[in-house]
Amino acid sequence: MAVTYRQAGVDIDAGDELVERIKPLARATRIAEVMGDVGGFAGLCRVPSGLDEPILVSGTDGVGTKLKVAFATGKHDTIGQDLVAMCVNDIVTTGARPLFFLDYFGTGKLDLATGEAVVRGIADGCKLAGCALLGGETAELPGMYADGEYDLAGFAVGVVERKRLLDGTKVRAGDVAIALPSSGLHSNGYSLARRVLEQSMGKSMGDHLDALGTTVGEALLVPTRIYARSVAALLDGGFSGVHALSHITGGGLPGNVPRVLPDGLALRVDATSWERPAIFRVIAEGGPVEEAEMRRVFNLGVGLLAIVARESAGEALTRLMGAGEEPWMLGEIEACAADTPFEARVRFA
């Protein structure tokens, strides 16, 4: 008897069926610049009109070991939002408007319900970001992944007018830092979080923790926030008071803020200016994990940081609150020695 591709572990029909299920999800994210539909060899998107010197901005990422939580809980409909967020939040720090997103979904054996749930989450994330799900790739790779597991990656492309580009060069001593809250861990530090919760504390994903008011799995799967619309409101009308934006991901404040600071400048953080979400207290106490380690691994409740001219702080706060945010004054930019080590350029007071 002849051997078939399906017998080798690849189901072409299932892949085709997933594409058909994806089409309406992608169609719901369509923006005016999109040309064509999902299913071709490539996605097509026009550069928006009305820009004198458009700059394309791109970002790529995954969601790390947060995937392990999705596998353990069997909940796959929010991990896609995490994927979009990790890419889109990076590109909006330049002032760019997200245009489109593409994903890669690889698995050993394609499960249609799981694949559709993942892509539905991606489409939901694209809607929140205001960008189009332009296409992607689904790969069935027998023997590459454990049963029931998959890998997920993606990238986003946006556009910004060159004269509106944010690159940190305008940051000055005396500028203020305005923080936007995270929803929790977002998609970073999960190897440490799982090590503490599952091993040090002996908890399973279904265990309820009073300190969290929910199960461990539910707390860990809270989706990463997408800041694209809030950034758009902040920059609307060419508001020039914003000097830099920083997405607070792996590395926390010390590992991300210096990326947008010119040499000789540091951020002094008022560590009393906000209350950390409960998940961080649970991890710190449950490890225990030292404060310095917490600061350099997790966002600690700060998802995005805007560095703003002091005289523009009031206007920036008003714009962000108008966008539904709950911002707060996190700290101030101050001078430091030019040879100050990278992470030492964020000082907690």
Per-residue confidence (pLDDT) for residue 219, from 0 to 100: 97
pLDDT band at 95 (very low <50, low <70, confident <90, very high): very high
Considering the four listed CATH numbers 1.20.1630.10, 3.30.1330.10, 2.60.40.1510, 3.20.20.70, the one that applies to the domain covering 12-164 is 3.30.1330.10
Rounded to 5 degrees, φ, ψ at 74 are: 75, 15
Domain with residues 176-348, CATH architecture: Alpha-Beta Complex (3.90)
pLDDT, mean of residues 17-26: 88
Q: Which amino acid is at 37?
A: D
pLDDT, mean of residues 264-269: 98
Q: What percent of the chain has pLDDT over 70?
A: 100
Is the C-alpha dihedral spanning 233, 303, 178, 60 positive or negative? negative
In this predicted model, what pLDDT tens digit does every residue of 199-258 receive, in sequence order?
999 999 999 999 999 999 999 999 999 999 999 999 999 999 999 999 999 999 999 999
Q: Domain residue spans in the chain?
A: 12-164, 176-348
pLDDT band at 8 (very low <50, low <70, confident <90, very high): confident
Per-residue confidence (pLDDT) for residue 53, from 0 to 100: 96
Question: Is pLDDT at 277 greater than 80 in this prediction?
Answer: yes
Q: What percent of the chain has pLDDT over 90?
A: 88
Per-residue confidence (pLDDT) for residue 16, from 0 to 100: 85
Question: Is pLDDT at 39 greater than 80 in this prediction?
Answer: no
User: Residue 186 to residues 7, 83, 107, 160, 315: CA-CA distances in angstroms?
Assistant: 39, 10, 23, 26, 28
Per-residue confidence (pLDDT) for residue 37, from 0 to 100: 76
pLDDT, mean of residues 70-92: 98
- Pairwise CA distance, residues 187 & 140, whole Å: 25
Structure tokens at 222: 């809270």
Per-residue confidence (pLDDT) for residue 42, from 0 to 100: 87
Per-residue confidence (pLDDT) for residue 10, from 0 to 100: 81
Closest alpha carbon to 182 in 80, 69, 280, 288:
280
Question: Is pLDDT at 11 greater than 90 in this prediction?
Answer: no
DSSP of 124-167: HHHHHHT-EEEEEEEEE-TTTS-TT-EEEEEEEEEEEEGGG---
What's the whole-model pTM score?
A: 0.95
Question: Is pLDDT at 197 greater than 80 in this prediction?
Answer: yes
Per-residue confidence (pLDDT) for residue 22, from 0 to 100: 86
- Pairwise CA distance, residues 264 & 307, whole Å: 16
Per-residue confidence (pLDDT) for residue 14, from 0 to 100: 85
Structure tokens at 124: 């939901």
Q: Please, are residues 134 and 154 in contact by the beta-carbon 8 Å criterion?
A: no
Please, is 176 exposed, middle or buried when counting C-beta atoms within 10 Å of its C-beta (0-12, 13-18, 19+)?
buried
pLDDT, mean of residues 267-291: 97
Q: Which spans in the chain are helix H?
A: 12-27, 66-73, 79-91, 112-129, 190-194, 216-220, 228-235, 252-256, 278-286, 291-297, 313-322
Mapped onto helix, strand or coil, the DSSP state of residue 329 is: strand
- Pairwise CA distance, residues 70 & 57, whole Å: 30
pLDDT, mean of residues 5-24: 84
pLDDT, mean of residues 156-176: 97
Per-residue confidence (pLDDT) for residue 4, from 0 to 100: 78
Per-residue confidence (pLDDT) for residue 211, from 0 to 100: 94
CA 131 and chain centroid, separation: 14
